[in-house]
Amino acid sequence: MIDLSTTYLGLTLKNPLVCSSSPLCEKIEHLQEMEAAGASAVVLHSLFEKQITIDSLDLHHFLDYGTESYAESISYFPDMRDYNLGPEGYLEHIRAAKKALTIPVIGSLNGVTMGGWTRYAHLIADAGADALELNLYHLPTSAKQTAVSIEKDFAELVVSIKALIKIPLAVKLSPFFTSPAAFAKRLEEAGADAVVLFNRFYQPDFDLEALEIKPSLQLSTPHELLLRLHWVAILFGQVNLDLAVTGGVHSALDVLKVMMAGGRVAMMTSVLLKYGIAHLGAVREDLLEWMREHDYDSIRQMQGSMSFNAVANPAAYERGNYMRVLRSYTAGK
């Protein structure tokens, strides 16, 4: 019998298929569908400190507005039954998910201030999350903010959060650090248990008629997986961190590539938004079929088999491959 089990963040998972953080995770019924379709764990949608701050300011405005007018000014107040100030709604969602599911539930947090990061991390852990993923989606726009200071701040953040929580901690990174391998090592030394590669960089578009900046969101494609495979393969064996891939995982073949690069889990969202949550079941069946055809007994047997340290030609991951790729292209084909 083929063994699909893997380990991630100290958790034993029945397979490497994990549903990544997305709006799909906002509803308990969707989470239950994910488990039924074969997901081994779920990462909840992110709790954004910045959104909490904005909501708090909006509520303050509503409560002040009209209070010096007539008695009917009470109608200005928002319905508090539907208004979740702070993280209470998110924490209740964690508790509800833990009751509804048998698979691990991983919280996700995107903070702004050190106090916000640590406070909400502690609350998420207390709410019963099995692990926490720090969503380090940060876009520096000041020429005065250096790479050195950014990495130092993130490392200190991990140290502070690990001192407060007892659950495992993953750090979700962008691909734009100057030296991802060195930074991953620094996060390991700070106490991180895993890194998730990579955040997708959402870039705004220009509306030339309205002369406005407008949001632009495209679902991931399998082509995006290549960057992630590259860095997982390089990191495997250099750091004692669990490695996870998110972005570009659409099929069983994508999952297999992640495993062979050295990943512990392959996370997916875009393909579920495109084809439905039930697509997870098809990926699992295709995974088993491929492993049967190629005489693999377990997922663990293949993990890291095509990493930087394992392949016969590690230069394929280095600069030499750049020239080879350029020369491989023939115009007109």
Question: Rounded CA gap, 14 and 39, in Å?
Answer: 8
3-state DSSP helix/strand/coil % of the chain, to nearest 5:
45, 15, 40
Residue 279, number of CB atoms within 10 A of its CB: 18
Cβ neighbourhood burial of 113 (10 Å; 0-12, 13-18, 19+): exposed
Question: Rounded CA gap, 40 and 204, in Å?
Answer: 34
Mean pLDDT for all residues in the chain: 87
Residue 79, number of CB atoms within 10 A of its CB: 6
Mean pLDDT, to the nearest integer, of 171-178?
A: 92
Options 3.20.20.70, 2.60.120.260, 3.40.1360.10, 3.40.50.20; CATH of 6-328:
3.20.20.70
Question: Which two tokens mark 169?
Answer: 């901690």
Higher pLDDT, 320 or 278: 278
- Smallest CA-to-CA distance from 236 within 246, 223, 245 is with 245
- Smallest CA-to-CA distance from 123 within 96, 87, 147, 167 is with 87
**Where in the chain are the domains?**
6-328
| End-to-end CA gap in the chain | 44
Question: Rounded CA gap, 40 and 234, in Å?
Answer: 26
pTM of the shown model: 0.86
Higher pLDDT, 2 or 54: 2
List residues bridging with 171 in a β-sheet: 134, 195
Q: Which residue has the tokens 């539930």?
A: 105
Q: What is the pLDDT of residues 133-159, one digit of tens each?
A: 999 877 777 899 899 999 999 999 999
131 pLDDT above the threshold of 90: yes
Binning pLDDT at 50, 70 and 90, where does residue 52 land?
A: low
Binning pLDDT at 50, 70 and 90, where does residue 281 land?
A: very high
pLDDT, position 137: 73
39 pLDDT above the threshold of 50: yes
Binning pLDDT at 50, 70 and 90, where does residue 324 land?
A: low
pLDDT, position 321: 61
pLDDT, position 51: 61
44 pLDDT above the threshold of 90: yes
